[in-house]
Amino acid sequence: MKYDYLIVGSGLFGAVFAYFAKKSGKRCLVIDKRPQLGGNVYCEKTEGINVHKYGAHIFHTSNKKVWDFVNSIVEFNRYTNCPVANYKGKLYNLPFNMNTFCQMWGVTTPEEAKAKIEEQKAEAVAALNGGEPRNLEEQALCLVGKDIFRKLIKEYTEKQWGRDCKDLPAFIIKRLPVRMVFDNNYFNDKYQGIPVGGYNKLIDGLLEGVECKTNVDFFRSEYKEWRKYADKLVYTGAIDEYFDYSLGRLDWRTVSFKTRIEDLPNFQGNAVVNYTSHDVPYTRVIEHKHFEMFGQEVFDCPKTVISEEYSTEYKEGMEPYYPVNDERNNSLATQYRQLAEKEADVIFGGRLAQYKYYDMAPVIESVMELSALLLHD
């Protein structure tokens, strides 16, 4: 039996495409090399808590069509992302806002905060003697000044990238949001939340009635000869792997996690706490129950699950997470995309196949637009 679409990967791009294809009467087969479906949004149930196995995923969008669509599959809760930064035992709200500035300088009004930041920015600009910032450190100092940079950006960024801020290009940080309000909501979007019952509910809803096979590696299975099985291919894996690294390997950033159960109901009082000094080897600690449990629910669940997140130098065989935004990789990715455009009957979609950083909502939006074009015939 031949399928209309073979879909490689069951993350959001693959799952949303399968949903719309099935709705249009198309026959689909979804394959995934992992033992479970869902890509990086997959959650593992531990002690009654949905653990974000591949890192924190917070859904946010200002697009009502996207928000209404995901809520038609599963109801989303009212989680609001309000991360906290811990620098040498002192806590600061993120993004940089009036709570941050009050803790840092004791200022209480937007005018006082603005004056302090402008004074420090002017120092950084003067130090350049009319030149442009040559690296990330100089760029960040010009954007927010020395205090915020030293306590909340410098060491955290160095942990993330594994190199000194002076050795990182200035363009990595184009802007740093400075908010003169006491609002700790990290996102400016109109809608945000987490699926009630976890992201698996969303993936299960999207793939309901679609044939799926796990533990199937596209490149090491009969499906590599995909034209025998389907008319078209939707590919969401790494673009360089698809072309057998013929132009060279793309670089990725990756993260690793140390997850443990704590025998207490509330470990840090927040879903995400960033550790911004080198004193602590991990970049942040995620306490998963706070994504879905609020108020008394936190204490009704007697244990908690926390994950320490570490930025890790990518090596072959590791999970690729983020594209590396530098000249070499951008150029190589462009060449691979040009090859991809010439592939007949193949759709390349998502972060890995397009070598672009995407939040979840734009991925869904892109599939909705693509489906409207492709699936009406």
CA distances from residue 14 to 8, 38, 97, 207, 237 in whole angstroms, order as listed: 7, 9, 37, 9, 10
299-320: pLDDT as tens digits: 999 999 999 999 987 888 888 8
175 counts as catalytic: yes
134 counts as catalytic: no
Which pLDDT does position 376 carry in this prediction?
A: 66
* Residue of 32, 240, 292, 309 marked active site: 309
Which pLDDT does position 174 carry in this prediction?
A: 82
Residue 1 has pLDDT above 80, yes or no: no
Residue 274 corresponds to which tokens in the numbers above?
Answer: 């960033």
319-363: pLDDT as tens digits: 888 898 788 999 999 999 999 999 999 999 999 999 999 999 999
* Residue of 75, 164, 357, 369 marked active site: 357
* Residue of 132, 175, 263, 341 marked active site: 175
319 counts as catalytic: no
* Residue of 253, 275, 287, 358 marked active site: 253
179 counts as catalytic: yes
359 counts as catalytic: yes
> Is the Cβ–Cβ distance between 9 and 40 less than 8 Å?
no
Where b means 16+ CB within 10 Å and e means fewer, 293-319 reads: beeeebeebeebbbbbbbbeebeeeee
164-216: pLDDT as tens digits: 999 998 888 888 889 999 999 999 999 999 999 999 999 999 999 999 999 99
Instruction: Report how far residue 13's alpha carbon sits from residue 366's, in angstroms, rounded to the nearest whole number.
Output: 8
72-117: pLDDT as tens digits: 999 999 999 999 999 999 999 999 999 999 999 999 999 999 999 9
Residue 377 has pLDDT above 60, yes or no: no
How much is the pTM? 0.94
* Residue of 137, 179, 287, 355 marked active site: 179
Average pLDDT over residues 253-267: 96
* Residue of 147, 204, 241, 359 marked active site: 359
Each domain of the chain, given as residue ranges in start order, spans 3-77+194-251+323-374, 97-172
* Residue of 191, 284, 287, 321 marked active site: 284
Instruction: Report how far residue 21's alpha carbon sits from residue 370's, in angstroms, rounded to the nearest whole number.
Output: 11
Give me the percent of the chain exceeding a pLDDT of 70: 99
* Candidates 3.30.1330.200, 3.40.50.720, 1.10.10.10, 3.30.390.50; CATH matching 3-77+194-251+323-374: 3.40.50.720
Helix 98-105 × helix 110-127 angle, to 10°: 70
Which pLDDT does position 291 carry in this prediction?
A: 98
Please name the residue that has the structure tokens 């960033």. Answer: 274
